[in-house]
Amino acid sequence: MRRARVFAQRVGGRAGIAAAVLMLLGAGPAWSAGLLKPRGASDAAGVIIRSHHVDVVINNGFCRTEVDQVFGNSTDADFEAIYTLPLPKKSSLSEVSLWIDGREVIGEVVEKERARQIYEEQVAKGHDTALAEKNDFMAYEINVGRVPAGGETRVRAVYYQPLEIDLNVGRYVYPLAEGGVDDERIAFWAIDDRVAGPFRFRLLLKSVFPVRDVRVPGYEAAAQISRRAGEQAAAGTEYDVLIDRPQGGNLDRDIIFYYRLDDTVPARVELLPYRASGKEPGTVMVVVTPAASLKRIEEGTDWIFVLDVSGSMAGDKIATLADAVVQVLGKMSENDRFRIVTFNEHARELTSGYVAATPPNVNNWIARVRAVRAGGGTALYAGLAQGYRCLDADRTSGVILVTDAVCNVGPTQHGAFLKLLREYDVRLFTFVIGNSANQPLAERLACDSGGFAMNISDADDMVGRLLQAKAKVLHECMHDVKLTLRGASIEHLTPPRLGNLYMGQQVVVFGRYADAGEVEIDLSARISGERKRWSCSAALPQVDTDNPELERLWALSRIDDVMEQVREHGESEKWRRQVVDLGLEYSLVTDYTSMLVLREEVMEELGLDRRNAARVHRERTAQQARLTNPARNRRVDQGQNTFEDRSAPGVGTGPVGLLLAGLLAILGWRRRR
């Protein structure tokens, strides 16, 4: 067995086949973030997570997460260890550091095959080294080549991601609960998610807009939440959240941070630029929170529930699925009808046709859904195909898919699913359960059908998340949304397609620009068949060095565009090369590139440019400046009011008035005393 697949293993050693057999017989259904260890390899027990510190900063439309860990080795032999972290949604792993001889060494990005080869060679020589790889859509894996006998090794990783705000509620997830979707890994590796020493999670929220309240569901007793001292009224709001466990704990439950913007926060356009100098191209991030007249859909609707009951949904995820369906069924009107389809290796319809959503019928089927149990493979294609059968052309229909979208029976390629969807004019709403789920597939299917995808964690405020979704489903949406930026030589806008926009959702687009100057921002969409348009103007600067991280976020979005083509049509050298070039240029861990940490002299011998070290230096300098200054208002539509819909104040995708008030009452928001 190659060492590439041996985690928490004695350097130079081998794991027995018997351990794999034992795992196949006794594997658990789900696991969490932590150290992977071959089952039955008792000599790996001495490698532990000695400390785990997380620092998160949310500021101006995106967030930065830093994970700093110390691995300890109590044995008399050097060990190799690998830490696995469920892949955060739309994240760019941009920084991996290893402390060598007491000094931080920042990793550089190398093509995946070459990085693995170099890493193996360094491990064989007993050298200090680390390697970060992306395991498809499921996880980041950070390989630590040598945890010295009787000693410890410190590793730090940093990733960035755009912020999600929905119905004026912001949501950040630090993923820890593994999804249990990788059968091969589950069949061989045990997970050690215990932190032997201190665990600390700290989050700083800097918002230029007023924040009414914050929550950390499930951690109410442990989380210390406070406004930062010395805040100024003009600086918006700053919150500090701390979860501090000196005696450690388990990394098996997501940490979710919600924050609620004040109800008076307006519809708006925010523009964040970065340009190091007038001689270099600039990068821009545009965030549009429009307000539009979106009427409630009053006529009866047919809902088809397609439920994943495969083995990867076992444990907390099947309970989450049941809760999701129960909440939606309980909120239906008597004019609605529903069908329920389940699938594992095969698909079958539980309801034998449409059922009227009367209270007795709903109560009956709520009990049946709660009794569903998980097991077997995942024939996602068969489940969807069964759900699309017997649609009533005379009624409005919607398909609700509740799954982790990890299919292993029947068609599995994106192209096959997209072909199926194109045969029907029905919106698909995907509720993606748990971490390590196939987000790319779920989001592509939802977008192409005109629906939306919503990620749900086991640690979420389930009722609140489903009410957010219900508010969207039961109101009109903005169809065929287009965002156009004209002027300043704007190019390479990403994502290229926006699809539909539902109540409470924002538009986030990245682009590049060659010239400073005025830019026109136009948003258009069809509402009830009528094309509507909103616009405003803004200025792109000659130089603005506040947010260098935007370059990585733009590159990551471009990579996602290319990977969509790969998943739909299959791999090609052209697309692989595009991903590799973007990964190398902007120092990102991708499907085809990895981040490698070596001794400085080894990097020099191998001719590895210190491109990422220079980029990290720029980013850390900017981050320090932002931390010491108030949040900067990046709104560009003040005084223009062109993205406000005055005809329907309080109902729309911006401030949502009474609707938001009702939602928050159910969510149970309340000020901390």
pLDDT of residue 644: 53
Q: Is residue 668 in some structural domain?
A: no
- State pTM to two decimals: 0.82
The answer to whether residue 660 is domain-embedded is no
**CATH code, domain with 63:** 2.60.40.1730
Any idea which of 100-104, 280-284, 443-447, 603-607 has the lowest mean pLDDT?
443-447
**Whether pLDDT at 292 is above 80:** no
pLDDT by residue (tens digit) across 306-315?
A: 988 888 787 7
Give residue-wise pLDDT tens across range 482-522.
888 888 788 899 998 888 888 778 888 999 999 899 999 98
Would you say 446 and 429 are in contact if contact means Cβ atoms under 8 Å apart?
Answer: yes
Residues 156-211: tens digit of each pLDDT:
999 999 887 887 888 898 988 765 544 555 555 677 888 999 999 999 999 888 88
**Could you tell me if 197 and 249 are in contact, meaning their C-beta atoms sit under 8 angstroms apart?**
no
305 and 376 together in one domain: yes
Write phi, then psi, for 565 (nearest 5 degrees). -65, -40
Looking at the domain assignment, is residue 632 inside a domain? Answer: no
pLDDT digits (tens, 9 = 90+) for 44-55: 678 899 999 999
Domain boundary among 261, 281, 309: 261
Angle in degrees, 0-180, between the axes of helices 414-421 and 550-569, rounded to the nearest 10:
80
> Domain tally for the chain?
2
Residues 6+ apart with CB under 8 A from 238: 204, 205, 206, 207, 227, 228, 231, 631
What CATH number should be reported for the domain holding residue 310? 3.40.50.410
In terms of domains, do 308 and 207 share one? no
Nearest CA to 12 among 22, 2, 24? 2
Same domain, 80 and 143: yes
Each residue's pLDDT tens digit, 228-259: 654 444 456 889 999 999 988 888 888 999 89
Q: Is 254 a member of any domain? A: yes
Burial code (b: 16+ CB inside 10 Å, e: under 16) for 514-528 equals: eebeebebebebebe
What region does 126 belong to: left with phi over 0, alpha with psi -120 to 50, or beta? left
Give 503's strand partners.
Answer: none
| Positions of E strands within 74-222 | 79-86, 92-100, 103-106, 108-111, 130-135, 139-147, 152-162, 164-166, 169-174, 189-192, 194-195, 199-207, 211-215
My answer on whether 380 and 231 are in the same domain is no
pLDDT of 178: 61
Same domain, 70 and 17: yes
Q: Is 524 domain-assigned?
A: no
Same structural domain, 256 and 306? no
Shared domain check, 139 and 192 = yes
| Same domain flag for 124 and 15 | yes
**92 and 222 inside one domain:** yes
Mean pLDDT along residues 532-552: 92
Quote the tokens at residue 388. Answer: 């699309």
The pLDDT assigned to 39 comes to 56
- Going along 506-624, which residue ranges are E strands? 507-513, 517-527, 530-540, 593-597
Specify whether the CB–CB gap between 222 and 203 falls below 8 A. no
Given 231, 261, 291, which residue is the final one in a domain? 261
Does residue 105 sit in the same domain as residue 243?
A: yes
In a domain, 382, yes or no: yes
Q: In what order do the strands lie in the sheet with 164-166?
A: 164-166, 169-174, 255-261, 211-215
pLDDT for res 32:
60
pLDDT of amino acid 656:
36
Residues 393 and 329 in one domain: yes
Higher pLDDT, 29 or 424: 424
Q: Is residue 14 part of a domain?
A: yes
305 with 256, same domain: the answer is: no
248: in domain: yes
Phi, psi of 629 (to 5 degrees): -115, 155
Chain mean pLDDT for the chain: 81
Comparing 411 with 483, the larger pLDDT belongs to: 483
Provide DSSP, 313-354. GTTHHHHHHHHHHHHHHHT--TT-EEEEEEESSSEEESSSS-
Range(s) of the domain holding residue 412: 301-417+458-473
